[in-house]
Amino acid sequence: MLSSACARARPVSAPSVADSVATNLVARERGSSTQSGAVGIPPFASSNVTGAAVSLSFALADLLATDLARSSALTVVERARLGEVMRELDLAASGRVDSASAPRVGRLLGAERLLLGGIDSLPGGDIRVAVRVTSVATGLVSAAIDARAPIADILAAEKSLAFQLFDALGVVLTPAERAQVSAQHTRNVEALYAYGRGVAAEVRGDWAAAAAEFGQARRNDPQFAAASVRATTALARATTIAGTAALLPGIRGVEAPVVSVVDRLNRPLDHITSQTRPLGGVGDPTFPGTLVTVLITVRRP
């Protein structure tokens, strides 16, 4: 049984509250915002890779997305949108999208194709990176490619994959685009590991941890441009979230990461309270004195 009493509360538009993040995701799943030709690149799976090298599954997928986005002929789904979808579907903890979850992830992303990849360790120390191009509508694989390299030169495999994927997707690069894709991101393996941990933290919505890891990658290699950009962005996001006070005791801020079922249940209340209370709080002279009481009774059978 749920009852509520509200006094002098500002009117809230029901449609705007109902059109929450989850509702928008459902709308996208129905195909309302599919981008023709768009591709999504979730974090790669890792089979027999252990230790610090596990973070490569996040780093390589992310840097591959960066390289593919160099072409003006290809639309790559934004990283923030990918993380949002994975958190909503409870895939962020593992960071993995498999064949079973791929169709729904693709529809929610509005992507026409997903590039599903994996990394595994080979005898002799090489790392193999494999990617298959999957149609979201049919689930069929149109191309499967792979590349391998020693872990110290693993980004050589990523570059090889990028050029193979452009060919598989029928994309012809301009000389300027080809030069951009060929540019090495970093040659420092420790910086790459930290970068991968930062990407994993972003997927989980943990912006403070992401900022710390990207900052570490930048310290390991000051020339790692992607790490510098991401460190600045993640720090700004983490600072914004930290400065947002909880809307009600026990309720996380609107910008806080969605990491559990309880968080998702609370999200509509987050939006309601953000719409009905001024940011100035009780010290603000315009504070309307809104009082919201919510009683929840749970009866066990």
- For residue 272, the one-letter residue type is I
Q: Distance (Å, rounded) from C-alpha 255 to C-alpha 239?
A: 11
Q: How much is the pLDDT for 265?
A: 53
pLDDT digits (tens, 9 = 90+) for 214-255: 999 999 999 999 999 999 999 998 988 876 644 445 555 555
Task: Tell me how far the alpha carbon of residue 66 is from its chain's centroid.
Answer: 14
Q: Distance (Å, rounded) from C-alpha 119 to C-alpha 116?
A: 11
Q: How much is the pLDDT for 300?
A: 67
Decide: 71 and 173 in contact? Cβ < 8 Å: yes
Task: Tell me how far the alpha carbon of residue 181 is from its chain's centroid.
Answer: 22
Of the chain, the percentage scoring pLDDT greater than 70 comes to 65
Segment 115-141 shows an average pLDDT of 89
Helix (H, G, I), strand (E, B) or coil at 264: helix
**Residue 284, pLDDT above cutoff 80:** no
Decide: 155 and 63 in contact? Cβ < 8 Å: yes
**Residue 258, pLDDT above cutoff 90:** no
Decide which of 2.60.450.10, 3.40.190.10, 3.40.640.10, 3.40.50.10070 is the CATH code for 34-184: 3.40.50.10070
pLDDT digits (tens, 9 = 90+) for 53-102: 899 999 999 999 999 999 999 999 888 888 788 777 776 566 667 666 66
Segment 277-284 shows an average pLDDT of 46
**Which one has a higher pLDDT value, 234 or 7?**
234
* Cβ partners under 8 Å of residue 87, min gap 6: 203, 204, 205, 257, 258, 259
Q: How far are the Cα atoms of 20, 42, 83, 102 from residue 200, in angstroms, in the given order? A: 25, 11, 9, 18
Q: How much is the pLDDT for 78?
A: 85
CATH 3.40.50.10070 residue ranges for the chain: 34-184
Range with the poorest average pLDDT among 28-32, 64-68, 73-77, 152-156: 28-32
Mean pLDDT in the chain?
76
Decide: 126 and 149 in contact? Cβ < 8 Å: yes
